[in-house]
Chain A
Amino acid sequence: MARQRYHDGLALRQALPGRFLPFLVGSMAFLAALALAGGIAAHGLSQRWTHGAGAVTTVQVPSPTDPATATAAMGQTPATRIDAVLATIAATPGITGTHRLSDAELRALLAPWIEQTGDASLPLPAVIELHTAPGQDVAASLLPRLQAQAPGVLMEHDSVWSDRLAALAGSLQACAGLAVLVVMTVAVCVVMAATRAGLLTRRQAIGLIHALGATDSYISGRFATRVGLLALWGGAWGSVLALPMLLALSHLAAPFTAMGDIPATTPDWRDVHAWAALLPPALLWMLVIVPPAAGLTGWATTQLTVRAWLRRLP
């Protein structure tokens, strides 16, 4: 009905057509979702590389049950080398976790060699895994002290690699952030251009309702509501279309991320929960947040654009 459509003379359906803007904003949201997913994935990897297996220092103590050659702190004399080493490690700051491999773990680890020699009674060293806080180099100071208590102690530390990987992950995150920023800037420009075009097509009507006493906030509000809803709609489509892509990527990335316990098999397509479990929660949240963020960005951009444009009217 024509009366409804032209209600207040702005004819926004005509000024801001309902396909163009959602399509463009949707594409932007899609790109932003992919970039954000990349950032989140890089964050997950860097977490794993700095806190997980990547930052483990391995300490080997030969003849662990022999008496210690020097006393540990606090004046007590632990009976064995392994006890002395464990006590020293426990008293060292900067170590976030310690795990002594059990005999079973050790034999599993060494199985190929033990089977080759066929000697099950081969004396095994004790192996301790140390988790260190990122950026801490405890090995240099710790090793001489451990060697004083248990001659022949070996330490293997791979922080060089974990640090490099962490730096790489950090750069990837920065790139993703930059991509999101660029996409948002382009989206803002697109919304501004569309709004200006809409203002131009209804220039006469805007001049008239301004002369009849419509406030700037009324006119900008009408435009911003329309653009905000179109952007929300476009953002929703962008998110929905990004979802299968992200699921596929998450499925591929599962073995490398912190979620190592995900089965390598592809879930049944009907099993929504299995698919949802594939996505890290941060990614799910991002997909939920993208549409309202797009809507809000569109709304705010239009408010500013229209208000600036209306300044030309007295």
Chain B
Amino acid sequence: MFRLHDVSYAYGGSQTGVAALSHVSLDVAQGEFRWLLGPSGAGKSSLLSILSLEVQASSGMVEILGVPVRQARRAGLARLRRRIGAVKQDFGLLPDMSVFDNVALPLRLQHRVEAEIAHEVHAIMKWVGLEHRLEALPPQLSGGEQQRVAIARAVIYRPALLVADEPTNALDERQAGRLMRMFHRLAELGTTIVVATHNDAIVAKYPAPTIELLHGHLVRDHG
């Protein structure tokens, strides 16, 4: 769960920078699933970056999984990041590391035993249908395959908060449906999920409460 109060964000500093978010306030409870909608440039990715602690809000209050972000120390933020999964719009895979190693990365950072890591990686990669591409490098995969690797890495450690930026844009309809069913199951298990998308068809097919942005302003918070 997370809370934003009067949050603004500007790329390149609040004085001179490009305003991406203005005075956004939100309150999303544990285990909720939310669509994040808005036209291109509305600030969806910026909002998700704040939620995944990739950037700090320029002003306002951000509280994630009960931790007030501005007051937290660096080590505390690192701990918090280990409870957040993020699927980036550009996938964020390391090009010189195998698919296996990319997906195993969060578990390795938690110093899990290698045998356990191998077991979990195989299970999740089987689920996304890529268990035969474990030794490939990300640039050798198609866009949809890379997207599935990014999704696998974001959910492998069962995060308490999952933010996904256009996670279905490179997937076919069948895969997108599988993904939506997994998201709903994760939400049932208590993961708070925010999914940004342009895909009106999928939103219509899987109705859920919606957050809508326009020019960095919150225009709909239907919770």
Contacts and interface: CB of A to CB of B under 8 A. Distances in A.
Interface of A: 2-3, 6-9, 11, 204-205, 208-218, 314
Interface string B10-45: 000000000000000000000000000000000000
Contacts of B92: 208, 211
B46 to A, nearest CB: 13
A314 B56 contact: yes
Contact of A8 (B53, B54, B80, B108): B108
Nearest to A218: B109
Task: Summarize A's interface: helix, strand, loop or mixed.
Answer: helix
Given A215-B74, A216-B74, A209 B79 contact: no
A6 B97 contact: yes
A215 B74 CA distance: 8
Contacts of A211: 52-54, 81, 86, 92
Contact of A3 (B77, B78, B96, B100): B100
A68 B181 CA distance: 119
A213 B79 contact: yes
Interface in B84-127: 84, 86, 92, 94, 96-98, 100-101, 105-106, 108-109
A213 B96 contact: no
Contacts, number: 66
Contact of B101 (A6, A212, A217): A6
B184 interface: no
10 contacts: A2-B101, A6-B97, A6-B98, A11-B96, A209-B105, A212-B109, A213-B80, A213-B83, A214-B109, A216-B78
Contact of A314 (B53, B75, B109): B53
Interface of B: 52-56, 74-75, 77-84, 86, 92, 94, 96-98, 100-101, 105-106, 108-109
Question: Most chain-A CB neighbours within 10 Å: which of B53, B79, B96?
Answer: B96
B89 to A, nearest CB: 14
B82 A212 contact: yes
Contacts of B83: 213
Nearest to B97: A6
A213 B94 contact: no
A11 B105 CA distance: 13
Contacts of A216: 74-75, 78
Contacts of A2: 98, 101
B75 A215 contact: yes
